[in-house]
Amino acid sequence: MTISSPRQASVPLPMWQGGGTRMGFFTDTSICIGCKACEVACKEWNDVPDLDPSWSGNSYDNTLRLGASSWRHVAFVERPRPDTGVGVQWLMSSDVCKHCTRAACMEVCPTGAIFRTEFGTVVVQEDVCNGCGYCVSACPFGVIERRADDGRAFKCTLCYDRLKVGEQPACAKACPTQSIQFGPLDELRERAGARLEVVKNESGHEMAQLYGADETDGVGGFGAFFLLLDAPEVYGMPPAPSYQRRDVATMWAAASVAAGVLLGGVAGAIVWGRR
Amino acid sequence: MGSNMAECHPVAFQWVVEAKQNGGKLIHVDPRFTRTSALADRHIPIRAGSDIAFLGGLIHYVLEHQRYFPEYVRSYTNAATIIDERFLDTEDLDGFFSGWNPKERRYDNSSWQYAGGVIHAAAGQRTAPGALERATVVGGSPPQEDPTLQHPRCVFQLLTRHFERYTPEMVEKVTGVSRAAFLELAQTICDNSGRERTTAFVYAVGWTQHTAGAQFIRTAAILQLLLGNMGRTGGGILALRGHANIQGATDIATLFDVLPGYIPVPKVDDPTDLGEFCSLNGGAAGGYWGNLQNYLVSLLKAYWGDAATADNQYGFEYLHRLTGDHSTYQSTLGMVDKTVRGFFVLGENPAVGSAHGGLHRKGLRNLEWLVVRDLYEIETASFWYDSPEIASGELRPEDIDTEVFLLPAAAHTEKSGSFTNTQRLLQWHEQAVEPPGDCRSELWFAYWLGERIRRKLAQREDPRDAAILKLNWNYPLLQPGGDPDPHHVLREICGWDGQGTSLPGLGAVRGDGSTTCGCWIYAGAFAGGTNLTSRRRPHWEQNWVALDWGWAWPMNRRILYNRASADPEGRPWSERKRYVEWDEKTCRWIGPDTPDFPLDRRPDFQPSPGATAENSLSGDRPFIMQSDGRGWLFAPSGLVDGPLPTHYEPQESPLRNALYEQERNPGRQLFRRVDNPYHPSAGEPGSEEFPFVVTTYRLTEHHTAGGMSRFLSRLSQLQPEMFCEVSPELAAERGLRPGGWATIVTLRASIEARVLVTPRVTALKFGNRTVHQVGLPYHWGSRGLVRGDSANDVFPLVLDPNVHIQEVKAATCDIRPGRRPRGGIS
């Protein structure tokens, strides 16, 4: 089963039309061992600032979420085994920016700091970003964030600099079990489909599903998609992410009406005041 | 079992994940549900310290249901061998074997020998008393055997009787594993063993850190031999070592009682004659240890070069001799008692990483001098001004006299050298950057320390200095005052002949002074003058065994004893498990791996009378390091605490031994002294004060005692605080609040930790008794970016008698809500 948005995009939206091969991540959470090597490799390579050390008490997760200084985040979910109800299941999943086909962060960026690379990935240019924060509210996953001490927005670049020289992203390189796989998106989707069959049928994970592999979903599919052992909300991910700019036209229309009413009111007040 | 592979060996665990994707089944038996359990098909919670009962139950199951591999057992193990008639089992003596000396608290293993002769073991305590005078079993067939396996004193029958009471019911009673779960597992293992299939056991310190640790592994060895899972692909017992090069450190002898290549260190009462010493320690045995004199002489040549001649027994008299147990913890107590005055600590942090940290720190305080070489100022160096004892006000820095030398060390990226990993694979790594400031490699340190000592000693004329002054200490330096050439050091370890040509393999190691070899099992890693450990041919460019990646000792073999992958006639046991086999056309053993057998030795070879070493073994004896070429179900020599594994309770246990009147391993090393108190166990007065089991472990995010992780921000933020793991039931019983604080109390120390309440820890039921287990990661100390109390502080010193390892995987404790009391001078 794949996730598709209950609300299909109502207007034609800009899709990625790049000429090269679109590259991405397939994160197979069924073989994630929660080692967090991806988090460390990402921070080391990209020189992402440290977090203040703080023990959460939430299983082994002390990073807690993606953010301006956490571009990979391994989620830990402890729960009773869903099949038998006896014993424990411990889900682990390394989350990352989805590099959406319809990337709202990019669309709302007024400075052009966020752009689509020749690899089909979505990257923020640090020296262009003016810190307006539109992208933050546009992202349906809460991925992109501004750094408090800096003001600019940061997120996973899918190691654009490494891709430029023919290397794979640092997290995929460091992942010991190949839970994080990097490659041409078409190939990854094919591989993921086959893997899903095995996980569902042979390993007995009936609820296993691909998340973000479907181009008809609300963001046109992810450039970084997942194989999950249960519904995305179990992992703290939105079940039906949608492209926020879909509603921009109606929002502007509503805003215009509101502005008109407001202006009318102001004008009326002025007129009234002159009396 | 006894391993949390996904967390502690995540890189190696990729192969387990791959095996699983190829249809393999993964079962994890462990007190806690860990990240390994999360990936396993099945997790079976077990009471810490009860593994022999569990594995013994499996042995009982295999024997009772006749699920063993009959051809393998008959030919490749000592099942048929008849044992001395004086032997008495723990079934006869309620927890003791024959030969127990209660006064000395040790066994005389004479009665455990093969009927008709003493047999040498390949390791450990290699002989029995009076071995020189008694007939020695050398190769061939033992003096008495019964191929029908019916003789009441044959090993097979003794084994059957020894484990007779290890029934599924008993397993449940002792380990807390339900009968149903146990039987399902037993069946799975048996179904997955035999001609077509194999099962592997993977363990780490969860098996070793017990008072019967060596016997835990012995139990698995017996099971694997019965099932025919040794020397075959997908089989074996895989020991996961705790550091990148800890295997190499063991091979090249950091332990007090072995020289490089597992050659025993002479004891004071050993013969002073080289030949006699070798005979007593395996030289008279069958199998490859029969060449001990070759290995030892070549090592002595490496040590003393031209000063090692036939006239001075190649320097045998220069070798130090053991006066007793000089293992780590004996040294610690020696420090406490001021018999050990100086101490070197290289790449270790005992103030955090050793059992009973408080006692260790006391030892450090009593030293005259201490040298610590590390990347950071770890707790072992800071104990005199930053330690729990200073923080509590119990001690003041000005009252501590130890002179501490903290020397900065180079990291592995800052030097070249080889790592020998868990699978005996040597991999060369090149220096990437220069070490900063005064940081130096261990090689630099050892070489220049030696130079300075030799210069000092050269000025005086004391005959006792000869051993140091005559050392062959000539190493080419990379630059004046710099590192010795590490290639040269490895080449010396791998050995050369009189012309300086690198040895092609261990068969070329000689005992006549014509070869030099620093470690005989490494001979061949420099064959042809090339450093084979630096080979990096990817696996997709060679066969699946990948012999051209690095080099594995001995002789680049990837599976030891792989002769056992073929039947006695040399044919594969099955097509599916085909590996090494006899090729009649070429009259050689062939296969994708280096055969672990003399290459041209026919399967039907029979030794001639008087043959020695490997030539005394017939062509169907795969276990070539053993004196009789067979896998030992029953170990007449080698272990000091019994020829067969027996379930004993840990030193501190909430339960009584359900199998024997004797509660604990009688041979365990005890230190009854005021500063090392033990808790009473079940049934003893006061035991109710410490009702819970406590066990230690590691997390992926940190490295052992924290010296390489707590000082790094990237790692520290991932696991920033000391915590304890408790079950929801225990949390309710003791009022422990999730995310709050708890204090873990023992007679050694009280430490505090944040509370992680998790269903991953199971409360185990034993009849109407519930046993709770408390899990403690042991990474924290008073230094570093993230700090916390040290788990090892709560454990006592009590050791396995074979290898002198501490029991920190099972002890007892109490746990209370809230932080520990704060000290301070009032």
CATH label of the domain that carries residue A192:
3.30.70.20
Chosen from A48, A88, A230 to mutate, greatest number of chain B CBs within 10 A: A88
Q: Which of B514, B540, B557 is the last residue of a domain?
A: B557
Asked whether residue A163 falls in the same domain as residue A269, the answer is: no
Q: Per residue in A92-115, pLDDT tens?
A: 999 999 999 999 999 999 999 999
Asked whether residue A254 falls in the same domain as residue A172, the answer is: no
Q: Is residue B780 part of a domain?
A: yes
Q: Per residue in B499-522, pLDDT tens?
A: 999 999 999 999 999 999 999 999
Average pLDDT in the B268-295 region? 91
pLDDT of residue B530: 96
DSSP chain A: -B---SS--SS--PPP--SS--EEEEEEGGG-----HHHHHHHHHHTPPPPPP----STT-SS-S-BTTBSEEEEEEEEE-TTTSSSEEEEEEEEE----SS-HHHHH-SSS-EEE-TTS-EEE-TTT-----HHHHH-TTS--EE-TTT--EE-----HHHHHTTPPPHHHHH-TTS-EEEEEHHHHHHHHHHHHHHHHHTS--TT-EEES--TTSTTS--SEEEEESS-GGGGT--SS---GGGGHHHHHHHHHHHHHHHHHHHHHHHHHHH-
A80/B759 Cβ within 8 A: yes
Asked whether residue B55 falls in the same domain as residue B99, the answer is: yes
Asked whether residue B234 falls in the same domain as residue B304, the answer is: no
Asked whether residue A80 falls in the same domain as residue A139, the answer is: yes
Asked whether residue A78 falls in the same domain as residue A187, the answer is: yes
Taking the alpha carbons of B97, B101, B104, B110 in that order, is the dihedral positive or negative?
negative
Average pLDDT in the B374-391 region? 97
Taking the alpha carbons of B208, B213, B216, B218 in that order, is the dihedral positive or negative?
positive
Name the residue of chain A whose CA is nearest to B7's CA. Answer: A35
Asked whether residue A151 falls in the same domain as residue A191, the answer is: yes
Asked whether residue B89 falls in the same domain as residue B182, the answer is: yes
Mean pLDDT lowest among A194-208, B55-69, B113-127, B580-594: B113-127
Asked whether residue A267 falls in the same domain as residue A186, the answer is: no
Asked whether residue B27 falls in the same domain as residue B93, the answer is: yes
- Tokens representing B452 are 């300075």
Asked whether residue B291 falls in the same domain as residue B369, the answer is: no
Asked whether residue A36 falls in the same domain as residue A163, the answer is: yes
Q: Per residue in A9-20, pLDDT tens?
A: 434 444 555 568
Asked whether residue B801 falls in the same domain as residue B730, the answer is: yes
pLDDT of residue B46: 97
Asked whether residue B27 falls in the same domain as residue B154, the answer is: yes
pLDDT of residue A2: 35
A40 vs B contacts (CB less than 8 Å): 714-715, 718
CA distances to A115, B142, B291, B333, B566 from B286, in Å? 73, 11, 9, 39, 22
- Quick check: B700 contacting A, CB < 8 Å? yes
Asked whether residue A143 falls in the same domain as residue A256, the answer is: no
Instruction: Residue B310: count other Cβ atoms within 10 Å of its Cβ.
Output: 10
8 A C-beta contact, residue A153 and residue A75: no
**Nearest by CB: B786 against A33, A53, A89:** A53
pLDDT of residue B823: 64
Mean confidence (pLDDT) of chain A:
89
Mean pLDDT lowest among B165-169, B656-660, B764-768, B774-778: B764-768
A33 vs B contacts (CB less than 8 Å): 6-7, 10, 13, 17, 35-36, 38-39, 700
Asked whether residue B680 falls in the same domain as residue B721, the answer is: yes
Asked whether residue B338 falls in the same domain as residue B315, the answer is: no
Average pLDDT in the A135-157 region? 96
Q: What is the C-alpha separation between B792 and A131, in angstroms, rounded?
A: 49
Q: Which value does ipTM take for this structure?
A: 0.94
Asked whether residue B219 falls in the same domain as residue B299, the answer is: no
**Residue A275 pLDDT level (bands cut at 50, 70, 90):** low
Q: Is residue A142 part of a domain?
A: yes
Q: Is residue A182 part of a domain?
A: yes
- Tokens representing B458 are 């050269």
Q: Is residue B718 part of a domain?
A: yes
A37/B10 Cβ within 8 A: yes
- Quick check: B715 contacting A, CB < 8 Å? yes
Q: How many domains does chain B have?
A: 4
A178 vs B contacts (CB less than 8 Å): 14, 17
Mean pLDDT lowest among A10-19, A138-147, A201-210: A10-19
- For chain A, the straight-line distance linking the first and the last C-alpha, in angstroms and rounded, comes to 67
**Nearest by CB: A62 against B6, B43, B720:** B720
What would the 3-class secondary structure string for B611-674 be?
CCEHHHCCCCCCCCCCCCCCECCCCCCECCCCCCCCCCECCCCCCCCCCCCCCECCCCEECCCC
pLDDT value at B69 more than 70: yes
Asked whether residue A253 falls in the same domain as residue A181, the answer is: no
Q: Which of residues 34-63 of A touch B (CB under 8 A)?
A: 34-37, 39-40, 43-44, 50-55, 57, 59-60, 62-63
- Residue in A179, A6, A199 with CA at minimum distance from that of residue A93: A179
- List the domain range (segments joined by +) for residue B533: 257-270+287-319+424-557
B815 strand-pairing partners = B744
Q: How many domains does chain A have?
A: 2
Length of chain B: 826
pLDDT value at B441 more than 70: yes
User: Position B342: which residue type?
Assistant: G
Asked whether residue B119 falls in the same domain as residue B157, the answer is: yes
The DSSP output letter for B397 is G
Asked whether residue B306 falls in the same domain as residue B335, the answer is: no
Average pLDDT in the B456-461 region? 92
Q: Which of B534, B557, B580 is the last residue of a domain?
A: B557
pLDDT of residue B119: 87
With a CB cutoff of 8 Å and minimum separation 6, the contacts of B135 are B116, B117, B118, B143
Mean confidence (pLDDT) of chain B:
96
Q: Per residue in B467-511, pLDDT tens?
A: 999 999 999 999 999 999 999 999 999 999 999 999 999 999 999
Where is B340: in which H helix or E strand?
none
- List the domain range (segments joined by +) for residue A266: 245-275
Q: Is residue A12 part of a domain?
A: no
B786 vs A contacts (CB less than 8 Å): 53
Q: Which of residues 545-604 of B touch A (CB under 8 A)?
A: none
Q: Is residue B393 part of a domain?
A: yes
8 A C-beta contact, residue A110 and residue A91: no
Q: Per residue in B156-184, pLDDT tens?
A: 999 999 999 999 999 999 999 999 999 99
How many beta-carbon pairs below 8 A join chains A and B? 101
A80 vs B contacts (CB less than 8 Å): 759
Q: What is the C-alpha separation between B361 and B397, in angstroms, rounded?
A: 13
Q: Is residue A71 part of a domain?
A: yes
Chosen from B30, B714, B726, B780 to mutate, greatest number of chain A CBs within 10 A: B714
B760/A34 Cβ within 8 A: no
Where is B295: in which H helix or E strand?
helix B292-304
A268 strand-pairing partners = none
pLDDT of residue A5: 37
Name the residue of chain A whose CA is nearest to B761's CA. Answer: A88
What would the 3-class secondary structure string for B494-506 be?
HCECCCCCECCCH
B759/A34 Cβ within 8 A: no
8 A C-beta contact, residue A103 and residue A116: yes
- Quick check: A218 contacting B, CB < 8 Å? no
A60/B699 Cβ within 8 A: yes
pLDDT value at B603 more than 90: yes
Question: Cis omega (within 30 of 0) on the bond before B801?
Answer: no
**Residue A249 pLDDT level (bands cut at 50, 70, 90):** low
B10/A176 Cβ within 8 A: yes
A90/B739 Cβ within 8 A: no
Q: Which of B557, B589, B617 is the last residue of a domain?
A: B557
Asked whether residue A141 falls in the same domain as residue A256, the answer is: no
pLDDT of residue B286: 86
**Nearest by CB: A53 against B33, B716, B758:** B716
**Residue B826 pLDDT level (bands cut at 50, 70, 90):** very low
Q: Is residue A15 part of a domain?
A: no
Q: Per residue in A75-97, pLDDT tens?
A: 999 999 988 888 899 999 999 99
Mean pLDDT lowest among A213-222, B313-322, B401-410, B728-737: A213-222
- Quick check: B39 contacting A, CB < 8 Å? yes
